[in-house]
């Protein structure tokens, strides 16, 4: 939902940067890889050190590369199956590192096991959300439904984690992570239901 409504704004915002990178000979794939490495570094270096605010700032800078590479591909007219595969695969790596970083800190010196467990639940369920859609599409169905798309998950966890680093009580992060886990669970159920409906309809017409 969020990415659909924000796409036009971010395209106009990052369009000049995308054109500049293309002028310098930078490829969309290179931006995708660098962006993922930045997110992983921020999540697995800053967060385990307890630098939740600065880690979030660092990660956010690189998260925007996910928008820039897409804009570059559209401008260049080189959108491809390979680019889509690479982007989707690296997105899973970045998301996993983000929640893993939060979990590592709170299982360790952060000393808040409920938050750590909630972060791990979000990690697993987020992967399941993505897998359900990918598997559905590989079978010829569509499953682009749900209330917990990637953009919503990223914005929620980054904003609250960063604020926690500035002194926001950790209970707010716990609540957001629990709600995010519940939303991801609901999304998986919605996608399973959508595919089941399509599969039943296909069997009836065959």
Catalytic residues: 91
Distances (CA, A) of 124 to 1, 6, 7, 35, 173: 21, 26, 27, 22, 17
The size of the chain, in residues, is 206
Residues 6+ apart with CB under 8 A from 132: 143, 187, 188, 191, 192, 195
Q: How far is CA 187 from the centre of its chain?
A: 14
CB atoms within 10 A of CB 15: 15
Paired tokens of 68: 């820039």
DSSP letter at 129 equals: H
The angle, 0 to 180 degrees and rounded to 10, between the axes of the packed helices 2-23 and 150-165 is 80
């Amino acid at each position: 939902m969020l990415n659909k409504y924000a796409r036009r704004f971010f395209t106009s915002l990052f369009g000049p940067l995308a054109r500049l990178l293309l002028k310098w000979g930078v490829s969309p794939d290179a931006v995708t890889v660098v962006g993922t490495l930045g997110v992983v570094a921020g999540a697995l270096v800053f967060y385990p050190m307890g630098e939740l605010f600065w880690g979030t700032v660092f990660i956010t800078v690189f998260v925007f590369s996910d928008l820039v590479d897409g804009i570059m591909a559209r401008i260049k007219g080189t959108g491809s199956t390979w680019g889509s595969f690479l982007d989707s695969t690296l997105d899973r790596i970045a998301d996993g590192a983000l929640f893993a970083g939060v979990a590592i800190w709170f299982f360790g010196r952060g000393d808040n096991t409920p938050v750590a467990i909630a972060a791990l639940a979000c990690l697993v369920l987020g992967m399941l959300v993505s897998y359900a859609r990918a598997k559905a599409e590989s079978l010829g169905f569509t499953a682009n439904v749900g209330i917990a798309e990637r953009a919503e998950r990223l914005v929620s966890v980054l904003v609250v984690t960063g604020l926690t680093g500035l002194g926001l009580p950790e209970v707010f992060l716990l609540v957001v992570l629990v709600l995010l886990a519940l939303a991801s669970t609901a999304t998986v159920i919605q996608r399973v239901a959508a595919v089941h409906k399509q599969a039943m309809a296909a069997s009836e017409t065959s």
